[in-house]
Amino acid sequence: MKPTVLIVDDDEEIRTQLKWGLEEDYEPVLAENREVAVAAFAKHRPAVVLLDLGLPPNPNETTEGMAILAELLTRDPGAHVIVVTGQSDREHALKAIQSGAHDFLPKPVEMEELKVILRRTVTVAELKRENRLSPATTREEDGYEDIIGRSPAMKQVFNMITKVAAVDAPVLVLGESGTGKELAAKAIHLRSKRRDKPFVGINCGAIPESLLESELFGHEKGAFTGAHAQRKGRVETAEG
């Protein structure tokens, strides 16, 4: 069965173009306003929602689009919503991400880019559904491995770890010293497709700049003074 994609846009031509471009791999469901979108969301339970932020009655603003986003996430906090916005509205797109949207696309929408994002998002949705069915993979109440916490902020961290772990892409974890970046990285690794591969931690700040390349990528015997034997780098070690 093809994954269902709910397309919410007030422009009939755009809805038709997106339907035509996606119907080979997906089941597009079209909606032109909030009422139709919410009803379609409840009926079809789409894997992904493609939501234009600029909708009537004020299509030059994002008020209606953000309201629909909030309503869909209230109905299903795990909904995967991709917002579509103009190039000059990236601030609103980031606000939508902070409010719970999964991703965003700038206008005009490039079909190939959309398909890549949809494949990735559907994969995340499917893996999250599998995780919900497996009690061993989610431990929000007890903490994630060595990360302990039940506050709303920590639950948000756990939710983000689960989301990014399902995506087959590099993940950059940012934070001040001592905030638990390595613990988060380990939790992501244990929930990823690479969980059976080694997790290799490295403190780059503790390695002299002249040796960092060799530490990461290894070296052959005799590559430099003191290289008495071939050495496997950390990257190769992590590859397993």
Share of the chain above pLDDT 70, in %: 90
Q: Are the C-beta atoms of 72 and 81 separated by less than 8 Å?
A: yes
Over 70: is that where the pLDDT of 139 sits?
Answer: no
Over 80: is that where the pLDDT of 131 sits?
Answer: no
Q: What's the chain's average pLDDT?
A: 84
Helix (H, G, I), strand (E, B) or coil at 170: coil
End-to-end distance of the chain based on CA atoms, in angstroms?
35
Q: What angle do CA 138, 195, 171 make, to 5 degrees?
A: 85
Stretch 164-174: mean pLDDT:
85
Cα 228 to Cα 42, 59, 163, 219, 235: the distances in Å are 66, 68, 44, 10, 20
Regarding beta strands 48-52 and 81-85, do their DSSP bridges make them parallel or antiparallel, or are they unpaired?
Answer: parallel
Q: Are the C-beta atoms of 191 and 167 separated by less than 8 Å?
A: no
Task: Read off the pLDDT of residues 81-127 as tens digits, 9 standing for 90 and up.
Answer: 999 987 566 778 888 888 889 888 888 889 998 998 898 888 877 76
Tokens of 169: 């892409």
DSSP string for residues in 86-106: -GGGHHHHHHHHHTT--EEEE
Cis? peptide before 57, omega within 30° of 0: yes
Residue identified by tokens 């949705």 is 125
What local confidence, expressed as pLDDT, does residue 137 receive?
44
CA dihedral of residues 37, 110, 173, 51 (deg, nearest 10): -10
Fold of 4-131: Rossmann fold (3.40.50)
Residue ranges of domains in the chain: 4-131, 137-196, 204-239
Task: Read off the pLDDT of residues 30-79 as tens digits, 9 standing for 90 and up.
Answer: 999 999 999 999 999 999 999 999 898 888 888 999 999 999 999 998 89
Task: Read off the pLDDT of residues 180-203 as tens digits, 9 standing for 90 and up.
Answer: 888 889 889 888 888 888 888 887
